[in-house]
Amino acid sequence: MTAPGPASASPVPMIPPEQGSALAEDAPELQHPVLRRQQTGQALGAGVRRGAVWAAGGKAAGQLIQFLGTIVTARLLTPEDYGKAAIILPLTAFAALFTTLGLGSAIIYNRRLTEKLLSTAFWVNAVAGVLLTGLIAALSIPIAELYDLPLLTPLLLLASLNFTLSLNIVHTALLERTLRFKQIAVLETVCSVVSIGTVVVTALAGAGPFALVLGPLSYTIVRTLLSWVVVRWFPRARPDRESLRELWAFTRGITGFNILIFWSRNADNLLLAGVASQADLGNYSRAYNLMKLPVGQVQVVMNRVLFPALSRLRDDRPRLGRAWLRALSLAGMATAPIAIGMAVAAPAMVEVLFGRRWLGMVVVLELLAVSALPQTLTATVGSVLRATGATSALFRLGLVTSVLSLVAMLIGLPWGTVGVATALTVKFYLETLIFARPCLRQTELTWRQLLRAMRGVWVSCLSLAAAGLLVRVLVSDMWPAWQVLLAQIAACVVAYVATLALVDRSALALAAGLVRRGLGRKRGKRRRASAEDGVDRD
């Protein structure tokens, strides 16, 4: 599919027949400065490459800030503090799904935007936020009584404000639609600094678990304000019933999938809260969040860059399939070695970064980090199926994985956090086989092509794991933890790069090409600036 054309282009139905309707195409297309880049015919390949660099860089910066902040707060807060927050954060995050309802995806997917469509999406987001704030407030006391923790009531009341204040869905979607990931990266980096700063300052002030709630709240406030300043879009129309029906035709499958996937990922905290101590739950929550650092980076980058790009290729399935495989290869190279490295270096890493009182999370981290390898693939499934309009298949996948997750959690629950972590790891590997099938069908690829694209990363990760474990066995009892960690990092990097160069040199060439293009653009900008200023800056 080619990039969307100017406003004069003839309307084209947006959603495949299985969806039953299309988003509005009959009204005049919205004219807004943020859309000019797309309407003037931006080259897709160049936009995607730049977008991937900025999205990955922005997410990496945010994750680094979060990681450094976690190291600090882990020494200020206790596992019990994290355990209390681990109970309420899944509840508030689930409610947050109903404020978005997949509206951002609909805005990105639609070929032509109207003021009625955007305004309707905005008001749905706003009304849903107010209703959810009220709902969480009403349920705060019963939830606190259920877990016999009175402190949960004020924590839930504070966290519920996120829903009312999160009014940037339309603004972010407009930036993503036009591949303006530089602005998004800057926004998120600033917000991450504010959020982590809030957590650290309030933790130093003795706020305990409240610090872990105030951080996300400050992120929401700053993100909303900055998004409005950058995009400068304001709702100018009343909610429109026809636009609402058309939005729902696209978003219902996505919303259902998001809800099901959410519970498949977060029910573990709620179930463990009934059988594990707050300290054990805090250790489990900290380990799970560490595992999600590399996986979360892939999910965000794939959703932001891959989905808009593939949406433009949806009428050219062979090209779409090739783009997906390249994205998988790059995502695997960036994510899988970090996750497997976490698993083999967990004892030394936890002691060095978080202190000895967090050593209770080591076994859980080792298990969960191994599960990040298959999640590299499943993180891209939503982008492929949304881009091809197969949102009903997305919902069915969500239903299947939710059942698998619940069964796995219930099987592992009698053995506490270690049992749940083990069962979920097995589930993630089984899930890969289920998730890959509809993607292969939509992209007209074969299993052989998929395995060939991922072979180099997987084999290299086995080499990395062997090198890291060898160092751990040989020197962990003789050297201080920080020396063991440095030795493991060095051994893992050498083993991974050497194996990847032998097994899949084309993957390294692909990554090196992206880096060279990025550096080449920077040098070109410096030369142009030098020519304009009459100064040789090189």
Q: Select from 312, 322, 321, 330 the least CA-distant residue to 438.
A: 321
Contact 28, 7 (CB under 8 A): yes
For every residue of 167-236, DSSP letters joined together read --HHHHHHHHHTT-HHHHHHHHHHHHHHHHHHHHHHHHTT-TTHHHHHHHHHHHHHHHHHHHHHH-----
Give me 450's structure tokens: 């998929």
Digit-by-digit pLDDT tens for the chain (538 residues) are: 333 333 333 332 333 333 333 333 444 455 555 555 444 444 555 555 566 666 666 667 777 887 888 888 888 988 888 888 888 877 767 766 665 667 877 787 777 778 888 888 899 889 888 988 898 899 999 989 988 889 999 999 999 898 888 888 888 888 888 777 788 888 888 998 999 999 999 999 999 999 999 998 999 999 999 999 988 888 888 888 888 887 887 777 777 777 777 777 778 888 888 888 888 988 998 898 888 877 776 666 666 677 777 877 878 888 888 888 888 888 888 788 989 999 999 999 999 998 888 999 999 999 999 988 888 888 888 888 888 877 778 878 888 888 898 899 999 999 999 999 999 999 999 988 888 888 888 888 889 998 888 888 889 999 999 999 999 999 988 999 999 999 999 999 999 999 988 887 776 666 666 556 555 555 555 555 454 444 443 3
- What is the reported pLDDT for 53? 65
Q: Which tokens sit at 39?
A: 């309407």
For residue 64, the tally of other CB atoms under 10 A from its CB is 13
Task: Round to whole Å and give the CA distance between 366 and 362.
Answer: 6
- In a domain, residue 318? The reply is no
The answer to the question of residue 234 being in a domain is: yes
Q: What is the pLDDT of residue 9?
A: 32
pTM across the whole model? 0.68
pLDDT (0 to 100) of residue 534 = 47
Q: How far apart are CA 361 and CA 350, in angstroms?
A: 8
Report pLDDT for 198. Answer: 95
Indicate the burial class of 535 (C-beta count within 10 angstroms; 0-12, 13-18, 19 or more).
exposed
Which pLDDT value is given to residue 75? 87
pLDDT at res. 106: 79
Q: Which residue has the tokens 């002030």?
A: 205
Range of the domain at 216: 78-239
Backbone angles phi, psi at 271, to 5 degrees: -70, -45
Q: Is residue 26 part of a domain?
A: no
Q: What type of residue is 199?
A: V
Work out the angle at residue 49's Cα, subtended by the Cα atoms of residues 181 and 290, and round it to the nearest 5 degrees: 65
What are 305's two structure tokens? 């860059």
Q: Is residue 189 domain-resident?
A: yes
What tokens does 279 get?
């300290």
Which two structure tokens, joined as six digits, stand for 498? 């050497």
Domain count along the chain? 1
Contacts of 131 (CB under 8 A, 6+ apart): none
What is the spatial distance between Cα 158 and Cα 160, in angstroms, rounded to a whole number?
Answer: 6
Block residue for tokens 């100017």 = 6
Q: Amino acid letter at 460?
A: S
